Amino acid sequence: MGLVATPAEAVRPVCFMVMPFGKKPTGEKQGAGPAEVNFNLLWDKALRPAIERLGYEAVRADEDLGPLIIEEMLERLTLADLVIADLTLSNANVYYEIGIRHGSKDTGCVLISADWSKQLFDVAQMRQVRYPLPEGEVTDEQAQLIIDMLCEQIPKLAHSQTPLYALQGYPNLDVKRTSAFRTFVQTLSRFQAEVSVARKMPAAARRDLVNRLLATYGKTDPIVPAIALELLLLVRDTLTFERTLQFVDGLPETVRNLPVVREQRALALSKTGRHLESIQELETLIALHGDSSERQGLLGGRYKELAKGTASDAERELYLDRAIEHYERGMLLDVNDYFPSSNLPRLLRTRNRPGDAERARAVNAVVMIACEGARLRNAATEWTNPTLLGTAFDVGDAVKAEQLLMLVLKDRPDEWKLGTTIPDLEHSAAQVDDADVRRRLEAVVGRLREHLQACGGAL
């Protein structure tokens, strides 16, 4: 009898809630948000009551008799009168289900999130309802604040067009638009082919081609973000960091404010000696878009440069501590990202406090495992080779360094980032106690310098 709907129940609109389940860690730093959120409690005390107050039947995926299979999930996302998606955590299922709703319905998708959370990808640019969530275990008082805010704001967004349907004519796009798209794809394909050629050229010839690419593609209005990013990396790797800053600062605001572009701008600021401005840029980026091993590694690098450049022992010690702190946080955020951890051993040995030498040896093991894991997963990046080389020096493995030297001499110096890696290798070699091993490592550095200079590169 309980399964038969009354007439009143039959006409009530349905709201399908897309959100994480159970207790989940947030990954937020202390003071930036709760360490953990009880999403079941959030649903029971705040989200479900708000949805019901708005006149909807509130449904969440885990409330069926069994787990949703894909067809049932697609049906609910497509047929529900309203879909509310909670983006407080970077949950892959939630992101996927938002995409399904955006493609299937022209309205009726509202994004919500805790006021301290940061979103990924393009959804960060979409309108959201931000609700207060200072504690992971939602109190009655907090629940009431959330209910009041959602009931006020959700009706304002419930009938807004979803992004795909905001495209003129979607889903039946005009043939002229299709032709323009094909022209764009051809231009992008041609550009990517030229970039591939540029990356294989000697340094001097590559500079000329990069300048031509800038003249051809860098002046388009509006510039395509994908092209802007590829040009940015080419300018960074081929021209000067001053030119990199000029390029970034000349981009449209929407492109200039992309997190990856801001990361590169912070790096360029530091490389031109403006370390404190770089740190400020990175801290602002983390505050706006969230933490990551990459950003913590970049922060560590900026403090490392400050430690090198100061004459005061007290300041040098402070900056060295800060560099180690950020590199360690970056390593712990993602042990598979060897960039932060690869910088730690030589800094720990330089500081040389009790326990630092042991910590350096442990970190070296993490770096080697991360690099080997990347190779095993076919996930090697442009930094895998230079990291392996640096780690061989850090552990004082002259045999491994000499083996890697033979590989380096067959490649272009930028494949091993020799321009930035050699100074670190020299530093690591100088810290080796065994005189014979130190001599062999210094000989490898000498050969690397010769190779870099012969190919037209510089430190």
Q: Quick one: DSSP state of residue 130? A: E
Please, are residues 330 and 340 in contact by the beta-carbon 8 Å criterion?
Answer: yes
Please, are residues 71 and 121 in contact by the beta-carbon 8 Å criterion?
Answer: no
Helix (H) or strand (E) holding 112: strand 109-114
Q: What is the mean pLDDT of residues 153-170?
A: 88
Residues in CB range of 92: below 8 A, 6 or more apart: none
Q: Which two tokens stand for residue 225?
A: 């973000």
CATH of domain 185-287: 1.25.40
Q: Is 81 left (phi over 0), alpha (psi -120 to 50) or beta?
A: alpha
List the one residue out of 132, 130, 112, 141 whose CA is nearest residue 34: 132
Please, are residues 84 and 146 in contact by the beta-carbon 8 Å criterion?
Answer: no
Top-ranked range on mean pLDDT: pick from 168-177, 221-230, 342-351: 342-351
**CATH says 7-166 is which class?**
alpha beta
3 state DSSP class of 180: helix
List the one residue out of 183, 127, 133 whose CA is nearest residue 156: 127
Residue 121 has pLDDT above 80, yes or no: no
Please, are residues 334 and 288 in contact by the beta-carbon 8 Å criterion?
Answer: no
- Give 382-427 pLDDT, tens digit per residue: 788 889 899 999 889 999 999 999 999 998 888 898 988 999 899 8
What residue type is 403 in one-letter code? Q
Residue 457 has pLDDT above 60, yes or no: yes
What pLDDT sits at residue 69? 67
- Give 263-274 pLDDT, tens digit per residue: 999 999 999 999
Other CB atoms closer than 10 Å to residue 8's CB: what's the count? 7
Other CB atoms closer than 10 Å to residue 10's CB: what's the count? 8
**What sign results for the dihedral spanned by CA atoms 56, 62, 65, 69?**
positive
Q: What is the mean pLDDT of residues 173-196?
A: 80
What pLDDT sits at residue 101? 94
φ, ψ of residue 85 in degrees (nearest 5): -120, 125
Q: Which two tokens stand for residue 452?
A: 């870099």
